Amino acid sequence: MTSDGSEQVRGAGARDPDALIRRAGARGNPDHDQHFLVDDRVVDRIPTYLPEDADRSHVLEIGGGPGVLTDRLLGVADRVTVVEQDRTFAEHLRREFADEVEAGRLTVVEGDALEVDLPEFTACVSNLPYGISSEISFRLLPRGKPLVLMFQKEFGERMAAESGTSEYGRLSVSTQHYGDVEVCEHVPREAFDPKPAVQSVVVRITPRDPEYEVEDEAFFLDFVKALFTQRRKTIRNGIRNTAHISGLSDPEAVVEAADEDVLRKRAGNMAPAEFAELAELAASVGR
């Protein structure tokens, strides 16, 4: 507070989360998947999870809300673009960070992050709306940029899971196709306002080329999806039963050509590189 009792608006990287929410004039709405970080310690740590060598010249944020994370990002990035669907919060961001907007350091894009044209960015740091976690992640991953994203705990842990674990699945293979995935921090419900019904995690995805090659990435991802719909079946039966998903016209040819050791496995025990090798075989003999 200043001497006259009014709230002091400090520089970028120092605004109080609760004060930002008050100035926004609206609370988070759980029905709209709005849960805002209010724990300063968590908010301060999130930008530090970017890789040390990450280019911070233009950071993208999905779902800015009242600007709690936006404020911290402006403290570490040259330029920030925020995509915010809620008009009340979009207007608040332009008003709260008017100096940064005028200086060209902040751009507020009002709209649905699944529909608007995303700008070219050098990294993305976001507390994502959990209802669109999968859709927005797979819009961002092909861009090949460092990502630091907040997810529901179970979703984030599945992203990072290793083959042979109960959490490992299609999401693990598909995400790890694009980069190295690490769970950086577990975040309790109490760090948000309003509190979500679930625990959360911060996940870092560092882009890298996979250790294998796939000629048709779309087919590879569909093939992985298909086999995980039959995760309790052997790969042999999975190939035979899911041609309608994978797009194979001759699944039996794939079974005849594949290695017997692979055919006896189940999807949960197949490493991404093994999926890739099998997908390449399937594409060559079964499409």
Q: Please give the annotated binding residues for S-adenosyl-L-methionine, written as ranges.
A: 35, 37, 63, 84, 112, 127
Cα–Cα separations (whole angstroms), residue 114 to 34, 84, 118:
16, 11, 9
- In angstroms, how far apart are the furthest CA atoms of the chain? 81
Question: How many angstroms separate the CA atoms of 171 and 147, rounded?
Answer: 16
Residue 237 CB burial class (10 angstroms; 0-12, 13-18, ≥19): middle
Paired strand residues for 263: none
Report the alpha-carbon angle 191-139-152, nearest 5: 25
Residues 6+ apart with CB under 8 A from 242: 226, 227, 229, 230, 251
User: Tokens for 8?
Assistant: 């002091």
**Residues comprising the binding site?**
35, 37, 63, 84, 112, 127
Query: How far from each other are the two terminal CA atoms of the chain, in whole angstroms?
Result: 68
Nearest to 182 by CA among 209, 208, 148, 135: 148
Alpha-carbon Rg for the chain, nearest whole angstrom, is: 22
